[in-house]
Amino acid sequence: MIVVRSCFYPLILIVVLVSSSCNKTYPTGRFGDDLNFLKQYANPIVLADGDRQIIVSPNFQGRVFSSTSKGINGTSYGWFNKRIMASDSAKQNMSKVGGASRIWFGPDQGENNVFAEIHPDTKKEVRKAPKDLDELPFKVLEKTNTSIVLGEKMHIKNVKGFDFYVDVVRDIALIKRNQIIERLKIDLNQVDYVAFKAKTTMTNIGEVNWSKNQGLISLWELGCMQPTPQTTVVIPLRGKATDATVYFTPVDSTRLNIKNNILFYKADANYLNKIGTLPEHTMPYFGSYSPELDLLTIVRFRFAGEQDYVNAHPENPEPFRGDVINVFNDGTWGDIGPFGPFYELETSSPAKTLKVGESLSHVHETYHFEGTKDVLNAIAIQVLGVDLTTIDNALP
């Protein structure tokens, strides 16, 4: 049985409409084409280890726009909003342009919401991204051919009116072959791969220690990926997990199925929805499989079993009873959407009562493997604990 907690709220701060199409399939772009496009708007920096490459932009807060395992002519694995990027508003709407790995702050709903403010006249809550998250470029602090460190001081205010002053540093680096083998315990022969880490650290540089009563913020890493009709997200669970947090729209067994403590979720960008996992059911890794692209994606992240996570579910009154993992699926619901097309793999840091001068870090690693089904099957079994045939058959 799947028990869900569902809700719907305005989505305008999550993504911005770029298409009125509801097609079942979407074209997949070339990495070189995305790079040439970004050269017009984003001052991109390419980190490369041979054909394994990622595009990072200081102008857009150390965002990884996309990656490839096969160089300029390879598939571009990330998704970003080209319509916004090509518009005059791009540098005032950074939070909305997507990308394969970017920083946000949570929560975006609830009593400690940082994506809203109180209107001075009506006294009603108005949806609005933090100004610094929308407009502030980062400075390059260090750089090599395969890594870059960027940062800036930021101001984030929650709906209660509490001001967070933070020094944010992002350390982006390609993960090398020997590190992948060591961390995932897999064989990389006969497979194309690219992997990168995003380590974000925020330090309380204000004059006040943070407390739960005033509200807390978390580091939130989001990665927009290219969807296919058969893309399935795979989330290994711990404990006796029979439920998931469900946002926006209802789901049934055609889109979400939990079997043998593994959650399978359809990420086809054809139904607007979002799910999450609570700390007691979370493992520090999950992934997705797109058979049409011969692509297996793994996300590995820092999680040490903490229980306090900011809560963005309006129907759940507990402000620190939130999800660790979230997955967003683009699509339509009534006359709302689509917004991409994309699906999004997300992880969050715990919420911490940082004293002045204290820091909190979150690490989110993205691995893409492109190859034959036999080779990808061995990786899926080793890392996710499930074979590709089971994944293929988990959902209709």
Note the pLDDT of residue 120: 84
Number of domains in the chain: 1
* Residue, of 239 and 25, whose pLDDT is higher: 239
Overall pTM surpassing 0.85 (yes/no): yes
Note the pLDDT of residue 24: 55
pLDDT tens, 285-317? 999 999 999 999 999 999 999 999 999 997 878
Range of the domain at 203: 3-393
Residue 21 has pLDDT above 80, yes or no: no
- The average pLDDT across 99-111 equals 96
Note the pLDDT of residue 253: 96
Structure tokens at 123: 């006294």
Note the pLDDT of residue 337: 87
pLDDT tens, 53-99? 999 999 999 999 999 999 999 999 999 999 999 998 999 999 999 99
CATH of the domain at 36: 2.70.98.10
Query: Do 76 and 68 form a contact (C-beta atoms < 8 A)?
Result: yes
Q: Which conformational region is residue 123 in: left (phi greater than 0), alpha (psi within -120 to 50 degrees), or beta? A: left
pLDDT band at 209; cut points 50, 70, 90 = very high
* Residue, of 26 and 181, whose pLDDT is higher: 181
Note the pLDDT of residue 193: 98
DSSP 216-262: --EEEEEEEE---TT-EEEEEB-SS--EEEEESS---TTTEEEETTE
